Chain A
Amino acid sequence: MLYKKFIGKTSNPVLNTLERGAIKKFAESIGDKNPLFIDEEFGNSSSFNENIVPPTYTQTLDYGEIEGLIVPSKGLIHGEQIFEYSRPLKVGEKIKCYTIVENFYEKEGRNGTLSFLSRNKIGEDLEDNHLFKITEVLIITEAVRKVMEV
């Protein structure tokens, strides 16, 4: 079982800053010009007293590497994605991020065995308060797996 031994393994936390410029670029790339994300004055006069972060932006942060876990850059299928937030995030916040291998399992499909790798990506504030959890499920087809095992 390709990734079985990695279940429960975590990366070392990485400190990320929610950067104004990166968030503006992201909001523009998804076609969402919500002033709450990108207009500094609008953010300052909102109930948050700051701009906030688009809900899927956290996927792009740095969560560190799990030692020895190599995920192929080609041939993977993104099966599922879940974001769970405790509260909205503000531009400028500093967040500790790390990743955990949640599960690895196999299922028989029409075109051979499919392998499922699920990872969590966790964000915490500097006082270790939980802010969000992302769950990402990647599917590895038998064809890709054969190449990896050579």
Chain B
Amino acid sequence: MKNLSELSPLVMKPVTRLELIKYAGASGDYNPIHTIDEEAKEAGLKGVIAHGMLTMAKVSRLISPFLEQGFIKSFSTRFTGMVYVDDVITITPELVKVVDSEYYYQISAVNQKGETVVKSKIIFQLFK
């Protein structure tokens, strides 16, 4: 039985350029700072950065194995840092409280330098 009280951290594979191109195509977000180096540099970045929404989608993978037991009622994210190609992102959940059938999580995504790139909150509600 999968356990909502003891979610394990997820260590993502290093971010690849191809991944960003695929996400651009699948999401329709073609902002060139995610795919073209020259455009990213013109915007003051050291290279292409991952879509914030891609990192947010990766955070949702923590809960993905439980989607037959309930649903994500609320999922909020603050984007606090840039994610570059080759970055290794670790997503760490913390169960804050359980109220009735709702699980409240605080989640952080941190890069290999220990910098927080995303802070999220999820409320997962079990089906009655």
Interface residues of A (CB under 8 A from B): 22, 25-26, 28-32, 34, 36, 46-48, 52, 54-56, 59-60, 73-75, 77-85, 87-88
Contact = CB atoms under 8 A, between A and B. Distances in A.
A26 B64 CA distance: 14
B106 interface: no
Q: How many residues of B sit at the interface, in one of the four size bands?
A: 35 or more
Interface string B25-42: 111110111000001000
A75 B33 CA distance: 9
Contacts of A36: 67-68
B116 interface: no
Contact of B77 (A22, A47, A81): A81
Contacts of A52: 67
B23 A34 contact: no
A34 B76 contact: no
B92 interface: no
A29 B77 CA distance: 19
Contacts, number: 99
Interface stretch (B1-9, B52-60, B95-103, B107-115): B52-60
Given A32-B60, A83-B76, 5 more contacts: A31-B61, A59-B27, A60-B28, A81-B79, A88-B71
Contact of A80 (B39, B43, B54, B78): B78
A26 B26 contact: yes
A56 B53 contact: yes
B52 A78 contact: yes
Nearest to A27: B26
28 contacts: A22-B26, A25-B26, A26-B27, A30-B54, A31-B58, A34-B67, A36-B68, A47-B68, A52-B67, A54-B57, A54-B60, A54-B64, A55-B75, A56-B60, A59-B27, A59-B53, A60-B28, A73-B31, A74-B31, A74-B32, A78-B79, A79-B78, A81-B76, A81-B79, A83-B72, A83-B75, A85-B73, A88-B71
B22 interface: yes
Given A83-B74, A85-B72, A78 B53 contact: yes
B14 interface: no
B71 A87 contact: yes
Nearest to A134: B75
Contact of A74 (B43, B52, B71): B43
Interface string B71-97: 111111111000000000000000000
A1 to B, nearest CB: 24
A60 B32 CA distance: 17
A32 B31 contact: no
